[in-house]
Amino acid sequence: MLKKISIMILVAVSAFAMHTGELNINNKDLEIGARFDLGQFKDTVEPETTFVGGKFLNAHQDHSDKNSSLEVYGEVNFLMMREVGNRGMKIGMGVKLNATKNQNLDYASLPLGVEFTYKFPIPDLVPMYLNGSFYYAPQVLSFRDANNYLEYRISYDIELIPNGRITLGYRTMNTNYNNAAIGNFKYNSSAFFGYKISF
């Protein structure tokens, strides 16, 4: 399954001018993501403001809070961002459609959220960034066997080469179910490191 997903992402990269691709790993989890800048494809959209993308996470049971039969987590996402002032801060509002499976229960939700990126104003050093996001779906935006969804992330990037960053981060993703046997379930809570490449 993960091999098929990777091939689909590589095909998409070759077909489009991908804005950002990322690969995040730790000793047991693998996350692959892509985000496209719609301003590169449509003249009426200002570049660096509107993005659409997808993400896949193959999480290990050791980073969840219960033993279970975890399936791959997948999402498609949409984000609108804008710069705040001229001091390196960007904020955005986003929405996701995500899905996974646990113990033969289907999970899907439509979380809403906010994201930010802050570029440290330190001259004569490599560019450094602080990123964060918070997404939540209440019961009314949760489908199938889902009850609600909560995710937050924080990461620190160092741009060692132009358009190439090393990232260190932490994520927590709660996929909570209506089923009493699973209930409030932490799908993944772990630190990670990886690469981000922009085009």
C-alpha distances in Å from residue 111, one per residue of 78, 94, 129: 11, 8, 25
Is the separation of the CB atoms in 29 and 58 below 8 Å? yes
Tokens at residue 53, please? 């993308």
Please determine, for residue 14, whether its predicted confidence score (pLDDT) is greater than 80: no
Query: Lowest mean pLDDT: which of 122-131, 163-172, 189-198?
Result: 122-131
Give SS3 for 3.
helix
Q: Measured between alpha carbons, how far is 66 from 84 in angstroms, rounded to an integer? A: 41
Please determine, for residue 8, whether its predicted confidence score (pLDDT) is greater than 60: no
**pLDDT tens digits along 86-143:** 889 999 999 999 999 988 899 999 999 999 999 999 888 899 999 999 999 999 999 9
The full set of domains in the chain, from first to last, is 2-198 (2.40.128)
Q: Measured between alpha carbons, how far is 74 from 33 in angstroms, rounded to an integer? A: 10
